[in-house]
């Protein structure tokens, strides 16, 4: 983002959105690009279109991608509200509502869990909890990472 605005890290605040145009994320994108965006606390990326790999990698790290036909009504510094459940972006100043793509339930859950790693960990823990039998004596202990289940 500093290629577009060198002062971006100083201007951006936790909960802000990144607004891009067409083909956002195209080019030579590496996985390490997404981590600073998440660490800065960006709430979502809004764009007219994105590179499919960029879309999936952002979802995998827990960053929502909101796609809609035009980002023209949104200017730098505008206050907007996103309702992911209903697929709506509301511009606070003009009260204009733009309808967006609604994320499928699986992608929403991945984002809500903080990314694909946390989602898989949750699913494995849930599965292991159902399939492991515990006895008071000679109990079966299962380790998942550093956690004992």
CA distance linking residue 34 with residue 57, whole number of Å: 8
Band of residue 9 on the pLDDT scale cut at 50, 70, 90: confident
pLDDT in the model for residue 148: 52
CB atoms near residue 15 (< 10 Å): 10
pLDDT at 87 exceeding the cut of 90? no
The percent helix, strand, coil of the chain (3-state, each to 5) is 30, 20, 50
Judge whether 68 and 22 are in contact, CB under 8 Å. Answer: no
Q: What is the mean pLDDT of the chain?
A: 82
pLDDT tens, position by position, 33-48: 788 888 889 899 999 9
Q: Please state the rounded mean pLDDT for residues 87-116.
A: 90
Please give the domain boundaries of the chain with CATH numbers for all domains: 8-114 (3.20.19.10), 118-149 (no CATH)
pLDDT in the model for residue 12: 86
């Amino acid at each position: 983002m500093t290629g577009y605005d060198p002062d971006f890290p100083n201007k951006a605040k936790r909960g802000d959105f990144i607004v891009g145009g067409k083909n956002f994320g195209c080019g030579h994108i590496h996985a390490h690009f997404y981590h600073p965006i998440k660490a800065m606390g960006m709430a979502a990326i809004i764009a007219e279109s994105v590179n499919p790999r960029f879309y999936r990698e952002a979802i995998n790290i827990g960053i929502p991608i909101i796609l809609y036909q035009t980002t023209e009504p949104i200017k730098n510094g505008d206050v907007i509200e996103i309702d992911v459940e209903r697929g709506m972006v509301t511009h606070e100043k003009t009260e204009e509502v733009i309808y967006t793509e609604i994320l499928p339930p699986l992608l929403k859950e991945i984002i809500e869990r903080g990314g694909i790693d946390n989602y898989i960990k949750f699913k494995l823990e849930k599965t292991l909890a159902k399939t492991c039998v515990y006895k008071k004596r000679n109990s079966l202990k299962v380790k998942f990472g550093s956690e004992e289940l």
